[in-house]
Structure 1
């Protein structure tokens, strides 16, 4: 009879990959260091390959190439096992218990407050545990079973996850009133000075979405400075340094209040990004995500 790795062994290995320290990994797993070390050694014997190279004198460890691959697969298996456990919980009221929700920074400040309020009213037994992070980090956390559902701007490569679009968020351009007086409307990018369009860092998918939706193809118009947040972009433009793209949801929530700025239509026709929910295909909480999506749709 074939022997298979236990979830406990896989958990030991993944935790060790996160800490790179046997003592710390054992502490996180609530076992002794010898128990964790034996568990990983047994896993290596079962798989008939070295996963971790140990240097007891230097007290260091390095994961082998195969070890890194096994860690990635182990994370996926552990995520699936958590989904399996959730399946048994869904026999009662699906809209109860903790729900780990991730959201990107260009959506979170303008949506999550209303989302929490609506959930508290409609589903008081549902406990939202929120995390704000970049798309890449959130998708990695979702794949590893650390998050249940994400609220992202689409389209984006979701690596085989399930998704549902729940609304659109238009793009507008903002410019200082002084500069607006010298620009002919409707706006054409050719009329703008070089390096006058400010964007977010590439880690924020809003930049790619805005550039694509608003048909900005002239790279010479883009300033090399990149901002870490929409608020930084607004301040750059408010000081007369150029123009930028701002989502409508941010404008509606007052990001431009008390700023000497003018909102104009970008050259791209009907420029927008899609807002959607993303989750693991193995998740048993699809009904929860559907109801959550309806709330987000209403807020949008």
Structure 2
């Protein structure tokens, strides 16, 4: 029988590709650098092809190596799902689930999600990871995460999405500028609206949902968090748009800020779950999605 490649060695290869450094990859795999290097050499022998071109100072992946890494990620993700399925012994809401969430949702919703899951499904363990949408989608594709909780719409090509509710936007201004609430956005001062950095998808969602068409109204300063936005507006420098779940969680407490619904049509971002189309845990994800939907408002409420 032909000798098959080791899953452990494939695991080493994937981490080396991610870290692009033998020492960092070995630490991530909790092995010595020599163990990781030997494992990859064994993998090349098992496959019968060179995966990495090396010299005494650097290395690079061959075309075959890049293809093996891509397929190894899919294989390792499937093995993880197979293990989780076996451990759950037919119970969809049992075992471990690795959930990723974006920073503009995680501080305001995850605590409620975890508590409700512990109450309804005590045999289900949630492992949480907070990161940007782009990074989370990459980790989902690589098999590092099982499920994502994101703000939609977002490019989720190759993944399945399930809407679980909405999160309305509110305009936030300083109390000394409350006359501004009676004005159209077009009448606001230029550069008076503060938003998050572009890697946070909430910026695009807020601009679209609130029908903010004149970009001259947006201040070039871009905050890294919603809490920073609150500080900027509380200093009297301008205004911003915040999601309702952040306001409900008390982000405006201790400030002199007021919030009100944006002008025109109902403005909100859609909240949804995202998972790989090849997953074997569809029932788990849909059940958890229905639970989260009970914690969020829906369209028309």
1:206 aligns with 202
Cα distance, 1:125 vs structure 2: 1.2
What CA distance in whole angstroms lies between the structure 1 residues aligned with 2:3 and 2:40?
19
Tell me if structure 1 keeps the 8 A contact 2:101–2:150.
Answer: yes
2:256 aligns with 260
1:135 aligns with 133
**With structure 2 as the length reference, what TM-score do the two structures score?**
0.89
Q: Deviations over 1:37-62 (max 9, x none)?
A: 4223225634xxx4312013x3x222
Report the 3-state secondary structure (helix = DSSP H, G, I; strand = E; otherwise coil) of the residue aligned with 2:92.
coil
Tell me if structure 2 keeps the 8 A contact 1:12–1:39.
Answer: no
What CA distance in whole angstroms lies between the structure 2 residues aligned with 1:64 and 1:238?
54
What CA distance in whole angstroms lies between the structure 2 residues aligned with 1:231 and 1:178?
20
Report the 3-state secondary structure (helix = DSSP H, G, I; strand = E; otherwise coil) of the residue aligned with 1:35.
helix
What CA distance in whole angstroms lies between the structure 2 residues aligned with 1:114 and 1:224?
34
Alignment of 1:52-201 (within 5 A): 52-56=52-56, 58=57, 60-181=58-179, 183=180, 185=182, 187-201=183-197
Report the 3-state secondary structure (helix = DSSP H, G, I; strand = E; otherwise coil) of the residue aligned with 1:81.
helix
1:292 and 2:295 correspond: no
What CA distance in whole angstroms lies between the structure 2 residues aligned with 1:242 and 1:23?
47
Q: Deviations over 1:9-62 (max 9, x none)?
A: 43232122234444665672758356314223225634xxx4312013x3x222
Cα distance, 1:243 vs structure 2: 0.8
**With structure 1 as the length reference, what TM-score do the two structures score?**
0.89
1:220 and 2:220 correspond: no
Tell me if structure 1 keeps the 8 A contact 2:13–2:40.
Answer: no
Tell me if structure 1 keeps the 8 A contact 2:100–2:145.
Answer: yes
Cα distance, 1:202 vs structure 2: 0.8
What CA distance in whole angstroms lies between the structure 2 residues aligned with 1:20 and 1:206?
31
Aligned residues: 293
2:299 aligns with none
Q: Unpaired segments of 5 or more residues in structure 1?
A: none
What CA distance in whole angstroms lies between the structure 1 residues aligned with 2:221 and 2:36?
48
Tell me if structure 2 keeps the 8 A contact 1:197–1:223.
Answer: yes
Q: CA RMSD in A?
A: 2.3
Tell me if structure 2 keeps the 8 A contact 1:14–1:71.
Answer: yes
Alignment of 1:236-275 (within 5 A): 236-275=232-271
1:229 aligns with 225
Report the 3-state secondary structure (helix = DSSP H, G, I; strand = E; otherwise coil) of the residue aligned with 1:159.
coil
Cα distance, 1:3 vs structure 2: 8.3
Report the 3-state secondary structure (helix = DSSP H, G, I; strand = E; otherwise coil) of the residue aligned with 2:279.
coil
Q: Unpaired segments of 5 or more residues in structure 2?
A: 297-301
Cα distance, 1:109 vs structure 2: 0.9
2:41 aligns with 38
